Structure 1
Amino acid sequence: MNKNQIATWFQGLQDQICQALEKADGKAQFQEDLWERQGGGGGRSRIIQNGHILEKGGVNFSAVYGEMSEKLLQMMNLPTNDKITFFATGVSIVLHPVSPMIPIIHMNVRYFEMSHGTWWFGGGIDLTPHYIDKADARWFHEQLKAVCDKYHTNFYPEYKKWADDYFFLKHRNETRGVGGIFFDYLNEGKTGFSKKQLFDFVKEVGLAFAPIYTYFMHKNKDLPYSTAELHWQRVRRGRYVEFNLVWDRGTKFGLETDGRTESILMSLPPQANWVYNYQPEPNSNEAETQSLLRKGIDWLSI
């Protein structure tokens, strides 16, 4: 398959996910913005807001191309005097629910190639509950392991660890949530899998998204909560913002390649709080969640 076929499939994935989320929410519908990148390419940004279940979210598709900037070449440890062009396409999703009892979720699946012949796939899914429910975390990781195991039994443990390490706020010494899977730079040389096999794996990850998140939407939408839980939700959203603006490579890549700012920053929640030196009450549900924001937890057996 070529880059255009890959991009076309990602467009179809965007359509499928948006339809599933609209049906599960039952009220809000996605609004689409078509945009063009000055250096080449563009995308379809689809934003959903003020729904029954989803307060704000985005399901974005992009396919951009152009000349690699000097800074981007440095980031990839490539000679800065080379004239190299790139093509990048993918789907990126972040959803912020109304209820603090429903988790935030992120997914990205992507393909990247350069004019000198290098190509790779990347992506992953991770879950950020405001309140960690161990059974929900276990179910989530079971779904991801099932997808990974179809291709190689090493995929889940390797990509789970990669997610733990990547979705980590170093300045807070805490994980963003309960992790998931994360992978990057997957090509024939790194994995021994063909391009078609790796694309099939990325497809399966993408198709797993809607069933996973609509499960949480239906399961948790009627759980009661108070203003105290909403306050904690906004504190946790604040940590989400910190990760995306300080550490996330996708945000940095989008801004460095002159992507559309509104689409790049759609991952930010509609409201968030920063409370100076916030400490949850001892023995509270908030304190329990805080204690579980660490690497290396075996969620399959917790």
Structure 2
Amino acid sequence: MLRSAPTRTQVRRPGPAARVGLRRVACRAASAQPVAHTAHAATFDGFVDYIHSLQANILSTAEDLEGGQRKFVVDRWERDAANPNAGYGITCVLEDGKVLEKAAANISVVRGTLSAQRAAAMSSRGRSSIDPKGGQAYAAAAMSLVFHSAHPLIPTLRADVRLFQVEGEAWYGGGCDLTPNYVDEQDCRQFHGYWRGVCDKYSPKVYPELKEWCDKYFYIPARKEHRGIGGLFFDDLATSEAGYDVESFVREVGDGILPSWLPIVAKHRDAPFSEAQRQWQLLRRGRYIEFNLLYDRGIKFGLDGGRFESIMVSAPPLIAWRYNVVPQPGSPEEAMLSVLRQPRSWA
């Protein structure tokens, strides 16, 4: 049991060169020019081009965050070697960094024919253009990201942007959410405030709707806990139904993934931390993997015949489970659990 609030003892503190590198990363993120958010005649091909550019920018920024000392392993794979039109993926992983203990930023581009099972599921969600018997051609493209920090005070970042298109009709999904180990009010408000600002450009209703959607989705019923402090989550959004340009919104979400998180990195990366805090981080990662394996729809779908290494790349590098861990009343660990059991309004 965690009997007392951890005593802070220094484990690591980056030197001046690392701090200069972080300032350079922050400047790059702040000045980055996003892909133009205009009407897209070839929706699918245009979105594929966008996620390639987005992935490249994310890899470059993350490597700069490590001062160039760690690089991503880039693994391009084909969905079906015998059928070049079936699609491909680009799995990129960085491990054992001083800031990023494990980071993954992956692309998948898939073309195929809707199975009866998947078509029936889409049709049941009100997609009248989908034949529940299956057989329609579809195309899907996504960029997904999970960054697990080496520092217990830097939250895990998860995000994705994706497009699913059937016979010219397009639906978008994605989001960005934060999983801290400790509650920092300023961090939580900064992160949610950033995303509220993005959403409010489209409609004042967007942020509260997507924030609520995120809270509901990232929930562990067996633990009666939410996985983190949320952010944005959305699925099956179409411009014709949303009342705003959903593709432009999704691109702005993609552009904002790292800028929403980098100020938190800058604030905490030089802070000392204790072994007790590190152990709490590993315990919280246990909850993270519980959600992924038990409840995440994308991972469950992918594990049914998908590429195992690319699917499990989102898993944290080290985790811990201990029996009946009960934080001491009034401790920072108990404060974290309190927030996870009852989502709060941060922006």
Q: Is the 8 A contact 1:165 1:295 kept in 2?
A: no
Question: 1:286 and 1:11 mapped to 2: Cα distance?
Answer: 39
Question: 1:74 and 1:294 mapped to 2: Cα distance?
Answer: 34
The residue aligned with 1:255 is: 303
Question: 2:212 and 2:342 mapped to 1: Cα distance?
Answer: 8
Question: 1:209 and 1:107 mapped to 2: Cα distance?
Answer: 7
The residue aligned with 1:273 is: 320
The residue aligned with 1:24 is: 65
Q: Is the 8 A contact 2:120 2:134 kept in 1?
A: no
Q: Is the 8 A contact 1:255 1:261 kept in 2?
A: yes
Report Cα offsets for 1:259-292 as digits up to 9, x if no partner.
3221111110111111122211222111111111
The residue aligned with 2:253 is: 205
Report % sequence identity.
40
SS of structure 2 residue aligned to 1:137: helix
The residue aligned with 2:7 is: none
User: TM-score under structure 2 normalisation?
Assistant: 0.81
Q: Is the 8 A contact 2:73 2:93 kept in 1?
A: yes
The residue aligned with 1:59 is: 105
The residue aligned with 1:159 is: 210
Q: Is the 8 A contact 1:31 1:48 kept in 2?
A: yes
User: TM-score under structure 1 normalisation?
Assistant: 0.93
Larger radius of gyration: 2
Query: In structure 1, what residue type is equivalent to 2:331?
Result: S
Question: Which consecutive unaligned segments of at least 5 residues does structure 1 have?
Answer: none
* Structure showing greater relative contact order (alpha-carbon pairs closer than 8 Å, 6 or more residues apart): 2
Question: 1:99 and 1:42 mapped to 2: Cα distance?
Answer: 33
Question: Which consecutive unaligned segments of at least 5 residues does structure 2 have?
Answer: 1-39, 125-129
Report Cα offsets for 1:17-45 as digits up to 9, x if no partner.
11111111222111100011127101111
Question: 1:254 and 1:9 mapped to 2: Cα distance?
Answer: 23
SS of structure 2 residue aligned to 1:212: coil
Question: 2:208 and 2:221 mapped to 1: Cα distance?
Answer: 22
Q: CA RMSD in A?
A: 1.6
Q: 1:226 Cα deviation (Å)?
A: 1.2
Structure 1 range deviating more: 63-72 or 85-94: 63-72
SS of structure 1 residue aligned to 2:293: helix
Structure 1 range deviating more: 58-67 or 31-40: 31-40
Question: 2:248 and 2:239 mapped to 1: Cα distance?
Answer: 13
Residue correspondence of structure 1 range 30-179 to structure 2 within 5 A: 30-38=72-80, 40-76=86-122, 77=124, 81-115=133-167, 117-179=168-230
